[in-house]
Structure 1
């Protein structure tokens, strides 16, 4: 299944605040998350995929290819 991260751990990994991740979750934005028991959790692989999507959608400059 891969490594699981809590909301706070995911926020640290993304260099964001837990408040931002809560807002993204409420607006159905940001990386995929789910509830396990009473805790919002993130898979490491989902965080990495979301980062790649953001890079692809927003990168500028550099050489093509």
Structure 2
């Protein structure tokens, strides 16, 4: 089993600032995550699935 990712791991994977990840969560968007105690954690497979489901737009 792969280790869970923290916010900085997800931000690094997506190439975004950690603050953007928190903004997405406050709006109910972004990859699914959950609290483990006071820590926010993400399953890598869930993050990758969420990413693959995003529209492939290039502006």
Cα drift, residue 51 of structure 1:
1.0
TM (norm. structure 2) is 0.85
**Which of the pair is proportionally richer in strand?**
1
Which residue pairs with 1:15 in the alignment?
15
State the 4+ residue runs in structure 1 displaced beyond 3 angstroms. Answer: none
Tell me the SS of whatever aligns to 2:31: coil
Matched, 1:42 2:47: no
TM-score (norm 1): 0.78
- CA RMSD in angstroms comes to 1.6
Structure 1: gaps spanning 5 or more residues: 61-65
Rg larger in 1 or in 2? 1
Q: Which secondary structure state, in structure 2, belongs to the residue aligned with residue 58 of structure 1?
A: coil
Separation in 1 of the partners of 2:51 and 2:42? 13
Match of 2:3 in 1: 3
